[in-house]
Amino acid sequence: MPNVEATTRYDGSPVLKVQGVFMAGLAMHSSAEPNTLVVRAEFEERERLLEDAPETYYVTDFYRRYPLVLVRLPLLKREILRELLAGSWRMTAVKRKGRATLTKIPAIQPGGIDPLSF
C-alpha cells in the first residue's frame, strides 16, 4: 500500500502508519486482550463486524469513542486481515489527505492488491 510505514509507538509496540497517521497496530491498552490488533473502522462497519463475528471482533470502553475495532489475531484468517488493513488504509489516507483524495485511492477487491506484500 502506498505511503505505509512500519514503525513503533512511544511504548515500543509496532504500528503501521500512513504518512505519519495511525493505521493499525497491536492494542496495548490494559483493557485489550493479549494478541489483539487495533485497526481503523467506521463506526457502522465496527458494529457490523461485532454482530457478525463477536468471537473475533470486540471493543472496550477505552476504544469505544474512536473509529477503531479490536481484533483477536489468533482467530483471524489472512484474507480477512488483508481486507481489514485495506479498509483501515483507505480510511487513514482519506483522513491524512482530505476527502478529495478518496477518488485517487484504489478500492481493494478480494484477490486485488495484497496489503501484506508492502
Q: Which residue has the higher pLDDT, 79 or 112?
A: 79
Q: Identify the band that residue 42 occupies on the pLDDT scale cut at 50, 70 and 90.
A: very high
Extents of the domains making up the chain: 4-108
pLDDT per residue as tens digits for the range 90-111? 998 886 655 434 333 334 334 4
pLDDT of residue 102: 35
CATH of domain 4-108: 3.90.1150.30
**Regarding beta strands 36-40 and 21-26, do their DSSP bridges make them parallel or antiparallel, or are they unpaired?**
antiparallel
Name the nearest CA neighbour of 84 among 117, 37, 118, 52: 37
What pTM does this model have? 0.78
Is the alpha carbon torsion for 21, 26, 28, 31 positive or negative? positive
Q: What is the rounded CA–CA span in Å between residue 93 and residue 108?
A: 13
